[in-house]
């Protein structure tokens, strides 16, 4: 990384992990080892030493561990960050002068050559080394012992070698640039999300739901095994240009409007819709979630209704057309007359940025540490990089999910600049080959070091064509794919009830609750709640399913059955998965290949598997398994490999 022409004696290059040459942070989880590799070399044959350094960005002092040489000038080291937040890491290299001398001395000594002058050179190295305490005492003692006795062995003592490695001068010390690292909490990597529209959680038709109604639903949601309760916007809704049912331009009396038209006389992004309750009621919901091990995630949409207080308080934050009218949001040919967007290029952009930051800090103070950001790709990159940094420097546990269904490089760009997790194209990947191809992309280098996928099977905006038949096996298969391929996944409420009525010819829900209040019977016949529960319980029991990157697809001779094997980060848990992608019965051979299972510190081939749902055990024969998948019962088979 530092050229000798710039004063460094060493080349330190091909560092891994690294994102865009260190422009953006690598992402890792607190308390887990981080492996760092690099090519380190210099001219000549002198012996090299190297160290891996790390610290929190806000700290001054570095921590360091020695790096080990592998082959062909490749070095590796590891460290374990114990705190959340932004970190830096770097590599130092230097010539180990005493080790170089010792190596040459021993070669000559073993060859029977005269080494008396070489011994004096070694003693001179000791005398030039200034050290205190025990290290200095060892160096001084061994030097004195040689000078008094002439015994070469005094210069070859192992304790002297260790002492000199710590204390000797390092005049050619070369350090790589400090490279960024974001250390997140475990929820950043893995979690099961349940998306809920708060106003639709009531029990009385036509009546607006409340936060108290949401609290009443928590036992049901927690029983399904979810980790995150994700709420669509909870703010006051504007009345100007309010949308009606099915996105009608004119709202009928009593229509609640779109919850994405944020802001009214009752308040803006830091207020709650009066019909949902008060801020105290929201706090009660957050507290109730904690008691059932759920975290609250809030939907943040950086947009306003024409009635938002900011339009009155800060009119210069918004753009007007030549005739003086307000420019409403649009994505031609789509129009959003009930929404206006702030102008990030306005003369007072600094105040706008600070106000949006303060909105997030307000909700953090109310107990929210996860934010799903709506359409971040339509706002400036530099704003998001600044905003996420501003929040995480104060609250390093905050997680940001980017809701950006857009061009692949743009989605990856958002992940690089700070978004903790990202929506993906999984929603539209249905064929075996395209699922495998997409997962290889997401789990490859460099994506695996900065892009954390969150597989949503549906959203309020997206009812994929493959769900529109309403066939239970399809819903189960998509759920199983999302929950097992990705460490993080999510469903939008109503999925568990097999809701599937589309606007004809479109991937959108008919009678979308974005524009109306729905009341459901959450226990209606045919629901998938027990199926969801079983999958989420299997995920919690098997850490192999709570990571995404260690994923290997297996060759199954059926284009409508996908199979893969995942292994936990510590190597102690190995899980195989086979999922049918069509509705007929499938008889397939699942090859385990070179799969190994750790038992007592040893790696052994599996001798049996245990079904994660039923507990049934099957022996491994001829290196694999003969499986029958009947999608009418269950399109997915999950099993743990046993040795």
Whether 480 shows a pLDDT value over 70: the answer reads yes
Q: CA-to-CA distance for 320 and 626, rounded, in angstroms? A: 66
The single residue of 96, 184, 299, 374 carrying the catalytic annotation is 374
What stretch of H or E contains 475? helix 472-485
Q: CA-to-CA distance for 278 and 283, rounded, in angstroms? A: 9
Q: Which residues are annotated as a binding site?
A: 243, 303, 338, 375, 514-515
214-258 pLDDT tens trace: 999 999 999 999 999 999 999 999 999 999 999 999 999 999 999
The set of residues, in sequence order, having a beta carbon less than 8 Å from that of 452 and lying 6+ positions away, is 27, 188, 189, 415, 420, 421, 422, 487, 488, 548
Fold (CATH) for 551-642: Immunoglobulin-like (2.60.40)
Q: CA-to-CA distance for 458 and 478, rounded, in angstroms? A: 10
Q: CA-to-CA distance for 37 and 26, rounded, in angstroms? A: 14
Q: CA-to-CA distance for 502 and 469, rounded, in angstroms? A: 10
Residue 374: per-residue pLDDT: 97
* Architecture of the CATH domain 193-545: Alpha-Beta Barrel (3.20)
328-365 pLDDT tens trace: 888 788 788 999 999 999 999 999 999 999 999 999 99
The set of residues, in sequence order, having a beta carbon less than 8 Å from that of 250 and lying 6+ positions away, is 244
Please indicate whether the domains covering 11-96+172-183 and 551-642 agree at the CATH topology level: yes
Residue 132: per-residue pLDDT: 80
263-315 pLDDT tens trace: 999 999 999 999 999 999 999 999 999 999 999 999 999 999 999 999 999 99
- Which residue has 């391929």 as its token pair? 485
Q: Which residues are annotated as a binding site for alpha-maltose 1-phosphate?
A: 243, 303, 338, 375, 514-515
Q: CA-to-CA distance for 420 and 452, rounded, in angstroms? A: 7
Contact between 195 and 423 under an 8 Å Cβ cutoff? The reply is no
Whether 4 shows a pLDDT value over 80: the answer reads no
Q: CA-to-CA distance for 496 and 529, rounded, in angstroms? A: 6
523 burial type by CB count under 10 A (0-12 exposed, 13-18 middle, 19+ buried) = exposed
**Is 403 a known active-site residue?**
yes
The single residue of 92, 299, 403, 516 carrying the catalytic annotation is 403
Please tell me the CATH code under which domain 98-167 is placed: 1.20.58
56-100 pLDDT tens trace: 999 999 999 999 999 999 999 999 999 999 999 999 999 999 999
Instruction: Tell me the C-alpha to C-alpha distance, in Å, between residue 542 and each of 64, 155, 536.
Output: 33, 53, 10
Identify the weakest region by mean pLDDT among 23-27, 129-133, 555-559: 129-133
- Give the three-class secondary structure for 436: helix
CATH superfamily of 11-96+172-183: Immunoglobulins (2.60.40.10)
Q: Is the pTM of this model over 0.75?
A: yes
Give me the residues paired with residue 604 across strands. Answer: 597
Q: CA-to-CA distance for 229 and 211, rounded, in angstroms? A: 13
Instruction: Tell me the C-alpha to C-alpha distance, in Å, between residue 154 and each of 146, 149, 310.
Output: 5, 9, 79
At residue 8 the predicted structure's pLDDT band, cuts being 50, 70 and 90, is low
Q: Quick one: DSSP state of residue 546? A: G
Domain locations along the chain: 11-96+172-183, 98-167, 193-545, 551-642
Task: Report the chain's C-alpha Rg in angstroms.
Answer: 30
The set of residues, in sequence order, having a beta carbon less than 8 Å from that of 54 and lying 6+ positions away, is 62, 63, 64, 79, 81, 87, 88, 89, 90, 181
**Is 124 a known active-site residue?**
no
- Which residue has 């999958």 as its token pair? 535
SS (H, E, C) 349-395: HHHHHHHHHHHHHHHHHCCCCEEEEECHHHCCHHHHHHHHHHHHHHC
Whether 395 shows a pLDDT value over 80: the answer reads yes
592-627 pLDDT tens trace: 999 999 888 899 999 999 999 999 999 999 999 999
Whether 385 shows a pLDDT value over 50: the answer reads yes
Q: How large is the average pLDDT for residues 502-524? A: 97
């Amino acid at each position: 990384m530092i050229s000798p022409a710039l004063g460094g004696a060493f080349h330190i290059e091909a560092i891994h992990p690294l994102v865009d040459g260190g422009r953006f942070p690598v992402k890792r989880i607190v308390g887990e080892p981080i492996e760092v590799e690099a090519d380190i070399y210099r001219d000549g044959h002198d012996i090299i030493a190297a160290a891996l350094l790390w610290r929190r960005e806000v700290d001054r002092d570095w921590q360091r561990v020695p790096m080990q040489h592998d082959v062909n000038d490749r070095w590796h080291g590891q460290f374990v960050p114990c705190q959340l937040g932004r970190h830096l890491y770097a590599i130092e290299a230097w010539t180990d002068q005493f080790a170089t001398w010792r190596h040459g001395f021993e070669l000559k000594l073993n060859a029977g050559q005269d080494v008396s002058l070489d011994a004096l050179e070694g003693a001179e190295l000791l005398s030039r080394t200034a050290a205190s305490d025990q290290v200095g005492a060892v160096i001084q003692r061994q030097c004195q012992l040689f000078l008094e006795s002439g015994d070469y062995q005094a210069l070859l003592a192992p304790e002297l070698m260790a002492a000199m490695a710590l204390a000797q001068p390092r005049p050619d010390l070369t350090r790589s640039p400090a490279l960024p690292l974001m250390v997140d909490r475990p929820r950043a990597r893995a979690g099961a999300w349940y998306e809920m529209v708060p106003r639709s959680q009531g029990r009385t038709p036509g009546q607006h739901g409340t936060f108290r109604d949401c609290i009443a639903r928590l036992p049901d949601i927690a029983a399904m095994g979810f980790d995150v309760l994700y709420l669509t916007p909870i703010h006051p809704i504007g009345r100007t240009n309010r949308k009606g049912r099915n996105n009608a331009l004119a709202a009928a009396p009593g229509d609640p409007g779109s919850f994405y038209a944020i802001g009214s006389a009752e308040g803006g992004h830091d207020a709650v819709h009066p019909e949902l309750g008060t801020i105290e009621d929201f706090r009660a919901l957050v507290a109730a979630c904690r008691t059932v091990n759920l975290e609250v995630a809030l939907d943040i949409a950086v947009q306003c209704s024409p009635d938002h207080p900011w339009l009155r308080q800060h009119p210069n934050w918004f753009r007007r057309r030549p005739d003086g009218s307000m420019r409403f949001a649009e994505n031609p040919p789509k129009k959003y007359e009930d929404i206006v967007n702030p102008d990030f290029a306005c003369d007072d952009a600094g105040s706008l940025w600070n106000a949006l930051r303060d909105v997030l800090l307000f909700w953090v103070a109310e107990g929210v540490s996860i934010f799903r950001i709506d359409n971040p790709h339509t706002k400036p990159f530099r704003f998001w990089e600044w905003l996420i940094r501003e929040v995480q420097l104060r609250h390093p546990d905050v997680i940001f999910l980017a809701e950006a269904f857009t061009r692949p490089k743009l989605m990856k760009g958002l992940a690089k600049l700070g978004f903790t997790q990202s929506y993906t194209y999984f929603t539209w990947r249905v064929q075996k080959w395209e699922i495998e191809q997409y997962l290889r992309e997401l789990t490859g280098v460099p994506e695996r070091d900065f892009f954390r996928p969150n597989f949503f099977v549906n959203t309020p905006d997206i009812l994929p064509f493959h769900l529109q038949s309403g066939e239970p096996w399809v819903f189960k298969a998509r759920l199983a794919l999302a929950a097992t391929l990705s460490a993080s996944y999510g469903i939008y409420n109503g999925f568990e009830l097999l809701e599937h009525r589309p606007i004809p010819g479109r991937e959108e829900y008919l009678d979308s609750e974005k524009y109306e209040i729905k009341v459901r019977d959450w226990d209606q016949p045919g629901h998938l709640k027990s199926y969801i529960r079983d999958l989420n319980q299997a995920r919690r029991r098997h850490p192999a399913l709570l990571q995404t990157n260690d994923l290997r697809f297996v060759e199954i001779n059926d284009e409508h059955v996908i199979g893969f094997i995942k292994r936990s980060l510590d190597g102690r848990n190995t899980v195989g998965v086979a999922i049918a992608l069509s509705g007929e019965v499938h008889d397939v051979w699942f090859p385990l290949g070179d799969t190994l299972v750790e038992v007592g510190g040893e790696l052994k081939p599996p001798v049996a598997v245990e079904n994660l749902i039923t507990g049934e055990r099957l022996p491994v024969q001829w290196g694999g398994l003969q499986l029958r998948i009947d999608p009418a019962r269950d399109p997915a088979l999950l099993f743990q490999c046993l040795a």
